[in-house]
Amino acid sequence: MSIEYRVGGIAPSVLRLARPGQYQVNEKGYYGEFGGAFIPEMLYRNVAELREKYLDIMNSADFQEEFGRLLRDYVGRPSPLYFARRLSEKYQTRIYLKREDLNHTGAHKINNTIGQILLAKRLGKKRIIAETGAGQHGVATATVCALMGMECVVYMGEVDMQRQAPNVARMRMLGAKVVPAMSGSRTLKDATNEAIRDWVNHPEDTHYIIGSVVGPHPYPDMVARFQSVISAEIKQQLQAETGSELPTHVVACVGGGSNAAGSFYHFLDHVSVQLIGVEAAGKGLTSGYTAATIALGRPGVIHGSKTLLMQTEDGQIIEPHSISAGLDYPGVGPIHAYLHATGRAIYLSATDQEALDAAFELTRLEGIIPALESAHALAKLKDLQLKPEHVVVVCLSGRGDKDMETYLRFLPADDNPTTTEPYS
Amino acid sequence: MNRIDSLFAQKKEKILTIYFTAGFPRLQDTRRILLALQQAGADMVEIGIPFSDPLADGPVIQQSSKQALDNGMSLRLLFEQLHDIRREVHLPLILFGYLNVVLQFGLERFFEKCTETGIDGLILPDLPLDEFRQDLEPLCKSTGIHFSFLITPETSDARIRQLDEASSGFLYVVSSSSTTGKKKDLSSLQPYFQRIEAMQLKNPFLVGFGIHDHESFLQACRHSRGAVIGSAYIRVLQQAADIEQATKDFVQQILSDNPVHAAS
Ligand SMILES: Cc1ncc(COP(=O)(O)O)c(C=O)c1O
């Protein structure tokens, strides 16, 4: 199949449309009341340069050509849209999995890092920094830095370095310097703080590759555009499969919200498509150990963006909890705060246990081990009151290799047919 | 008259401003530190409102903020601690903090409390210019509280003029592009300070970030009206057995060529 990689273009359609562009960022960098660029002056020049240049660079023919070619030949796009027969039978509906887990490096994160490294090159930057939670964005960044011969420093919470050790090893092998973030909860929020501080200290030669639709404008919009390839492909693939480019539901997990933004992007103006984001409830919404920002957050400013965030009454940011390092973030991309406020998308949450159950279910029904993050999206299939005539697309944002240690810890012992007895 | 304006009207050079984090090292040290700084001869004080995620700060101030929050510090408590501070402290006082804490407190209420307390100026490093104009400038105008923007070596001349225009009281010149607390040799930065001096801005300016001893203080003051010291004082407080004595020694050492090695 041939896919045209238009970055962030909105495909025309005669189907029920919202006001075109209604859900896009405005010229001031806001989605409704959310977004903006709340940064110290030390970052102003870099962020302003990016804001002034990102659209021109992304829309230029040579960028489009190089980006499209790398997505195809290096990442392996288009990623398959797989009809999950046994999962569909179980839920009495039609379920398609968008297989971002089959991308090079094993998650959707590489769509964005390819885009940003090409941008960084065109801005003349020599050094790349990134934050990472699950390590998928760190690996995707280390990968493109190796590809382009650029210096790479990845900040990762010390707790996450332990729970996602295989990804730390991969980053090191790829030549990246992995720096542990030791402050706060020592997870994604703190890694992001450290990356921002690094950028403050290296404003001339460094580009910060943010891993989700978070941070100051233009990052949320830029990352959403790079990830929008997901929904551009879904449309074409569904058209070929079902005769209609529109599903009834699109479901994606939400950490910062980049795979969800990419999965929703080309459906935003088609109001017949139900958009569903799934946050990490951790041990439960009322447990005090959760990362369900949209469910529990109030408007505030985190990492340069006005958005919903989990905070105390005094405005201190609350340390989140999720079994999944990639969803363990106390904020959310401003586009999601806005889609929530306008009712265009709905946001549910899945507990650690629900995510584990969903991961084991997919593994046994389809032979696919999902990332713990993606398992949160799968976990809500049971709550959507699905019907046989529905067409549901779930973004399988990544694969579960990095989570094997967690999975094995929770795999019921009596459920494991492996034996050390020789076959007789 | 705003105390910041009086200070700049009276003192033409080597204005010493010292930063400390409220609630550090102990929750109830705020008043004591303010008095110690006044006694020791500081000209102005920046009171840091602790925040869980201080993006512009290096490890020393981060650590002090964390300890202050662990001690139970909050903006509400800070205003309580300061409610009659003007009976004893006559120095200009500036609140330095991150926007989220102020937003959650409520902007109007924040300005009311600042007015009641006798706060003279504000620095909110993550507040953008447009949002300042829209949301804070009217409140600053009506209360007479000053607001200082930061500028850095990366800030263009055109933008320096904009930030100067929006600021009142003084402009805060960040010595080099970095987080707080990196000790620096400021001699190589003289052309930058000179350039700003030559721009003949509306506001006087102070230099901050990385100033830690007599030598760097003098360097910072060569083309400016004075300097701000933060992390170096926090380091002193971290180890101080006696806050008054340690503060006195520190300020003397910054101001004088021959630091008095007072026995402590
Ligand atoms: C596989 C996978 N899915 C999802 C996420 C969450 O990020 P986002 O919400 O930006 O898609 C991560 C983050 O690390 C991830 O690795």
Ligand 1 centroid to residue A105 C-alpha, Å: 13
Q: Is residue A394 part of a domain?
A: yes
Ligand 1 centroid to residue A227 C-alpha, Å: 12
- Are A95 and A128 found together in one domain? no
Q: Which residue of A has its CA nearest to B69?
A: A316
Is A41 in contact with B150 (Cβ distance < 8 A)? yes
Q: Is residue A13 part of a domain?
A: no
- Are A329 and A213 found together in one domain? no
Is A45 in contact with B55 (Cβ distance < 8 A)? no
Closest CA to B228 of B121, B131, B133: B121
Please state whether A127 falls in left (phi above 0), alpha (psi between -120 and 50) or beta. Answer: beta
Q: Is residue A153 part of a domain?
A: yes
d(CA A292, CA A279): 5
- Are A199 and A250 found together in one domain? no
Give yes or no for B72 touching A (CB within 8 A): no
- Are A379 and A272 found together in one domain? yes
pLDDT at A4 over 80: no
- Are A368 and A235 found together in one domain? yes
Q: Is residue A26 part of a domain?
A: no
- Are A202 and A264 found together in one domain? no
- Are A316 and A367 found together in one domain? yes
Confidence of residue A8 (pLDDT cuts 50, 70, 90): very low
- Give yes or no for residue A398 CB within 6 A of ligand 1: yes
A79 labelled catalytic: no
B215 labelled catalytic: no
pLDDT tens-place string over residues B145-157: 999 999 999 999 9
Q: The domain spanning residue B164 has which CATH number?
A: 3.20.20.70
User: How many domains does chain B divide into?
Assistant: 1
pLDDT tens-place string over residues B158-203: 999 999 999 999 999 999 878 888 877 888 899 999 999 999 999 9
User: How many domains does chain A divide into?
Assistant: 2
Question: The dihedral of CA B174, B176, B180, B182: what is its sign?
Answer: negative
Confidence of residue A14 (pLDDT cuts 50, 70, 90): very low
pLDDT tens-place string over residues A385-415: 999 999 999 999 999 999 999 999 998 777 7
Q: Which residues of B touch A52 (CB under 8 A)?
A: none
Residue A34 pairs in a beta bridge with A31
pLDDT tens-place string over residues B79-131: 999 999 999 999 999 999 999 999 999 999 999 999 999 999 999 999 999 99
> At A34, is the secondary structure helix, strand, or coil?
strand
Which residue type, as a one-letter code, is found at position A375? A
Give yes or no for B161 touching A (CB within 8 A): no
Which residue type, as a one-letter code, is found at position B168? S
- Give yes or no for residue A80 CB within 6 A of ligand 1: no
pLDDT at A145 over 70: yes
- Are A266 and A315 found together in one domain? yes
B window 179-218, beta carbon within 8 A of A: 179, 182
Confidence at residue A6, expressed as pLDDT on a 0 to 100 scale? 43
- Are A261 and A351 found together in one domain? yes
CA separation, residue A7 to residues A208, A232, A257 (Å):
20, 9, 18
Q: Which residues of A touch B127 (CB under 8 A)?
A: 38
Is A42 in contact with B103 (Cβ distance < 8 A)? no
Average pLDDT over chain A reads 93
The range of the structural domain enclosing residue B231 comes to 3-263
Q: The domain spanning residue A233 has which CATH number?
A: 3.40.50.1100
- Are A195 and A314 found together in one domain? no
Confidence at residue A1, expressed as pLDDT on a 0 to 100 scale? 39
Tokens coding B91 = 């120095």
Give yes or no for A197 touching B (CB within 8 A): yes
Confidence at residue A416, expressed as pLDDT on a 0 to 100 scale? 65
pLDDT tens-place string over residues B26-58: 999 999 999 999 999 999 999 999 999 999 999
> At B169, is the secondary structure helix, strand, or coil?
coil
Q: Considering A167, A185, A218, which residue would you say is the last residue of a domain?
A: A218
Q: Which has more confidence, B170 or A159?
A: B170
Q: Is residue A276 part of a domain?
A: yes
Cβ-contact A150, A206 below 8 angstroms:
no
pLDDT at A420 over 70: no
d(CA A298, CA A314): 12
